[in-house]
A and B are shown apart, each in its own frame.
Chain A
Amino acid sequence: MEPLLDVKNLTMDFGGLRALDNISLALREGEILALIGPNGAGKTTFFNCITGIYTPTSGDIFIAPPGKKRERINGLAVHRVTERGLARTFQNIRLFPDMTVLENVMVARHCRSRAGVLGAVIRDRNTRREEEAIVGRSYEMLKTVGLSEAVNLLARNLPYGAQRRLEIARAMATDPFILLLDEPAAGMNPRETDELEGLILQIRDERKIAVLLIEHDMRIVMSISSRIVVLDYGQKIAAGAADEIRKDPVVVKAYLGEGSDA
């Protein structure tokens, strides 16, 4: 079966710095693939390359949405990538702070709706129906992540953990087939992390969305990921199931440094 996301020899240079060096990986249907590595290993750069924020120096990124043709998405504008069905969250939360929680999610329905200026002004039947559908869908998303009580709060007033969940709801509202989560558990307490774990599994199982996950919290990485890819200094140093990674001497060295026998 063709992988949903197929990255081949991806390289990204910033001036003289090689942030990503010949990275290849594939994400298959129903998988949760974790991307781990020490700080500055190039994980977020990898996300930015895939989602179109950066155009990679070389290499290919192919996507194969279910029921659609395989397509190369290098250099595509950010919103086009989202349209194709890749949605992401951000490491440093990037919500729309002065919009309400519901509106934050409604914005994400933009690329799945069509009303133009004229429709907005006249507010004809189609526009009204579309608007209702947007509200309904967004509310449903918020219910999934457990924020249905907070719909009318401003996003900036949400507690930290809830903001992270709102980001996930917002990303989900774009109807993706791949969800890219950039450190979703950062700053969460253990209970919140457990809930998040459940949420990610639920997203994969009920909505059939494959997940690419960057995370530092090893507990969540080890327990939910189907496979793990380890990056260090822009290079892929290991890949495999959780148990293999845990015992891999190269990985241990990258995390703990030379001469350690942890």
Chain B
Amino acid sequence: MNRLAEIRKSLAIACWFMFLTFPVMVIRVNTIEKVIDWRWLNMLYIGAGSFAVSLLWRYLMGRAAGGPKPAGPEASAPAPPLQRLREDPKLYRPALLLLAAAALAYPFLVSTYQVNIMVTALMYVVLGLGLNIVVGQAGLLHLGYAAFYAAGAYTYALLNHHFGIGFWTALPLGGLVAMLLGILLGFPVLRLRGDYLAIVTLGFGEIVRLVLENWNAFSFGPSGISGIPRPGFFGIEMNLHGATVYLYFLMIGLCLLTVFVVRRLQDSRIGRAWIALREDEIACQAMGIDKTRAKMTAFALGSTWAGLVGVIFAAKTTFVNPASFTFLESAMILSMVVLGGMGSILGVALGAFILVLLPEYLRVFSDYRMLLFGIIMVIMMVFRPQGLVSGIRRTYEYRKGEPVEHGTAAGR
């Protein structure tokens, strides 16, 4: 009965679509021979297509809404594979070892091009984790993240251009400049909330890009700065492949460092303050947390990672110009965080890999890339708004009433 109603509804939708698209899809006026083509076959395709899509949509919506489920209570269902992988140390350790081995062997098994793509992916992992501090943990919607990324890249580019400063000196400086910029922006902005904050950060991102584009004397305008040296390794000359592999391991290192720092922050007094801030701002303040300070810390730390990656970006491409730091860049990084799962390290990394690697390997569909991207985002937000991997809350065990052991448990 229910199914029949569904089919009837989908049929109605199909008819409606056929009617709507009738003038465009069926009638074609041939102006040369002054005849009208009636393309009835098109109508059939549209009808069948919209019927199928509508039916699928209904089915998925029904499932998402927890509709008819043949299985018993949900609690008895096994955890999704990713969750299980994280919780069971017997699976977790070998998986981690395997991953490490694969990561080590990777650059020696594939071409320079592939390694290069992976470097890009790793860069976005770090960017995503940095933004995750601001968006996922502290709950501040930040749409101008690319500005801090640009700050890092231009720090290295300009310092190198004017003073010949090398990569390793520029790396911490880039992070520092981005952090200072974050604090500078934070002062006026962090009293805002939600949508307002999003708009202001969006504006800030555009301001930074426009300044870089138009202040020729400072940033060399749209033509950018070229000839930025790649990172050195104790003065050894490297060919392109060597340099790429070196950069790859550099990025692996930075990724590990980021994960380490982010995890420790998550489990600290500061990380808890961020999450509390995200959950309920008023209660958070009433519990004695300085709201402004907590927001500022999140903003500054998130920006620092963008600055670091910015320096590496400049070194990787050996060229920077403002076109690399558009709003689309900020939106991409934000999408990685949201797609992967806000607040979850594994999720954000996964999101970054998906959004960088998929377009690379789907070059065949390059014309439809943005279309596909949009569709994926819509579907994700409808059916799994919490992202691919949901965050984990730390748990504590008790023996003889004393807290001793730490573990993890699924949450959210």
Partner of A121, one of B265, B291, B391: B265
> Is B205 interfacial (CB 8 A cutoff)?
no
> Is B375 interfacial (CB 8 A cutoff)?
no
The answer to whether A139 and B282 touch across the interface, beta carbons within 8 angstroms, is no
> Is B394 interfacial (CB 8 A cutoff)?
yes
CA distance A136 to B403 in the complex (A): 7
Partner of B297, one of A97, A113, A117: A117
Given contacts A51-B286, A102-B396, A117-B270, contact A79 B291 (CB under 8 A): yes
The answer to whether A79 and B285 touch across the interface, beta carbons within 8 angstroms, is yes
A residues near B391, Cβ cutoff 8 Å: 98
B residues near A73, Cβ cutoff 8 Å: none
Given contacts A100-B393, A115-B268, contact A151 B276 (CB under 8 A): no
The answer to whether B264 and A116 touch across the interface, beta carbons within 8 angstroms, is no
The answer to whether B264 and A107 touch across the interface, beta carbons within 8 angstroms, is no
> Is A227 interfacial (CB 8 A cutoff)?
no
> Is A199 interfacial (CB 8 A cutoff)?
no
Shortest A230–chain B CB gap in Å is 26
Given contacts A99-B272, A115-B270, A120-B271, contact A152 B395 (CB under 8 A): yes
Shortest B395–chain A CB gap in Å is 4
CA distance A154 to B410 in the complex (A): 10
Partner of A99, one of B270, B275, B402: B275
Shortest A113–chain B CB gap in Å is 6
CA distance A51 to B286 in the complex (A): 8
B residues near A116, Cβ cutoff 8 Å: 270
A-B contact count (CB 8 A): 132
Shortest A23–chain B CB gap in Å is 21
> Is B6 interfacial (CB 8 A cutoff)?
no
> Is A188 interfacial (CB 8 A cutoff)?
no
The answer to whether B283 and A96 touch across the interface, beta carbons within 8 angstroms, is yes
> Is A106 interfacial (CB 8 A cutoff)?
yes
The answer to whether A90 and B279 touch across the interface, beta carbons within 8 angstroms, is no
> Is B233 interfacial (CB 8 A cutoff)?
no
The answer to whether B287 and A103 touch across the interface, beta carbons within 8 angstroms, is no
B residues near A158, Cβ cutoff 8 Å: none
The answer to whether B290 and A120 touch across the interface, beta carbons within 8 angstroms, is no
The answer to whether B396 and A98 touch across the interface, beta carbons within 8 angstroms, is no
CA distance A148 to B265 in the complex (A): 26
Query: What mask results when residues 74 to 94 of chain A are scored 1 for a CB within 8 Å of chain B, else 0?
Result: 000111001100011010001
B residues near A90, Cβ cutoff 8 Å: 282-283, 286
Interface residues of B in 283-320 (CB under 8 A from A): 283-291, 297, 301
Q: How many residues of A contact B (CB 8 A)?
A: 50
Shortest A50–chain B CB gap in Å is 11
Partner of A151, one of B279, B285, B396: B396
Partner of B396, one of A107, A113, A115, A152: A152
> Is B72 interfacial (CB 8 A cutoff)?
no
Interface centre among B269, B393, B402, B412 (most CB of A within 10 A): B269
The answer to whether A154 and B301 touch across the interface, beta carbons within 8 angstroms, is no
Q: Which single residue of chain A is at the shortest CB-CB distance from B294?
A: A110
Interface residues of B in 354-412 (CB under 8 A from A): 391, 393-396, 398, 401-403, 409, 411-412
The answer to whether B276 and A107 touch across the interface, beta carbons within 8 angstroms, is yes
Q: Which single residue of chain B is at the shortest CB-CB distance from A97?
A: B279
In this complex, the interface size class of chain B, counting residues with CB under 8 Å from chain A, is 35 or more
The answer to whether B279 and A99 touch across the interface, beta carbons within 8 angstroms, is yes
Shortest A42–chain B CB gap in Å is 19
The answer to whether B286 and A152 touch across the interface, beta carbons within 8 angstroms, is no
Interface residues of B in 237-281 (CB under 8 A from A): 261, 264-265, 267-273, 275-276, 279-280
Query: What mask results when residues 153 to 170 of chain A are scored 1 for a CB within 8 Å of chain B, else 0?
Result: 010000000000000001
Given contacts A100-B395, A103-B394, contact A78 B271 (CB under 8 A): no
The answer to whether A111 and B288 touch across the interface, beta carbons within 8 angstroms, is yes
Interface residues of A in 33-64 (CB under 8 A from B): 51, 53
CA distance A107 to B285 in the complex (A): 10
The answer to whether B286 and A82 touch across the interface, beta carbons within 8 angstroms, is yes
B residues near A131, Cβ cutoff 8 Å: 268-269
CA distance A130 to B398 in the complex (A): 18
CA distance A73 to B402 in the complex (A): 38
Partner of A111, one of B279, B287, B396, B403: B287
CA distance A154 to B396 in the complex (A): 13
A residues near B272, Cβ cutoff 8 Å: 99, 103, 106-107, 110
> Is A134 interfacial (CB 8 A cutoff)?
yes
Q: Which single residue of chain B is at the shortest CB-CB distance from A149?
A: B398
CA distance A135 to B409 in the complex (A): 17
CA distance A132 to B396 in the complex (A): 11
Interface centre among A99, A109, A170 (most CB of B within 10 A): A99
Shortest B5–chain A CB gap in Å is 35
B residues near A117, Cβ cutoff 8 Å: 265, 270, 297, 301
The answer to whether A99 and B393 touch across the interface, beta carbons within 8 angstroms, is yes
CA distance A113 to B290 in the complex (A): 13
The answer to whether A110 and B273 touch across the interface, beta carbons within 8 angstroms, is yes
> Is A95 interfacial (CB 8 A cutoff)?
yes
CA distance A83 to B264 in the complex (A): 26
The answer to whether B411 and A98 touch across the interface, beta carbons within 8 angstroms, is yes
The answer to whether B403 and A135 touch across the interface, beta carbons within 8 angstroms, is yes
> Is A108 interfacial (CB 8 A cutoff)?
yes
The answer to whether B290 and A79 touch across the interface, beta carbons within 8 angstroms, is yes
Q: Which single residue of chain B is at the shortest CB-CB distance from A135?
A: B403
Question: Can you pick out 8 interface pairs between chain A and chain B where the beta carbons lie within 8 Å of each other?
Answer: A78-B282, A79-B287, A95-B280, A98-B391, A99-B393, A131-B268, A139-B396, A143-B401
Q: A88-B286, A95-B279, A152-B396 are in contact. List 12 more A-B contacts (CB 8 A).
A: A78-B285, A79-B285, A79-B291, A82-B285, A82-B286, A98-B275, A110-B269, A110-B287, A110-B289, A112-B288, A135-B396, A174-B288
Q: Which are the 5 A-B pairs with shortest beta-carbon distances?
A: A111-B288, A120-B268, A82-B288, A96-B279, A94-B283
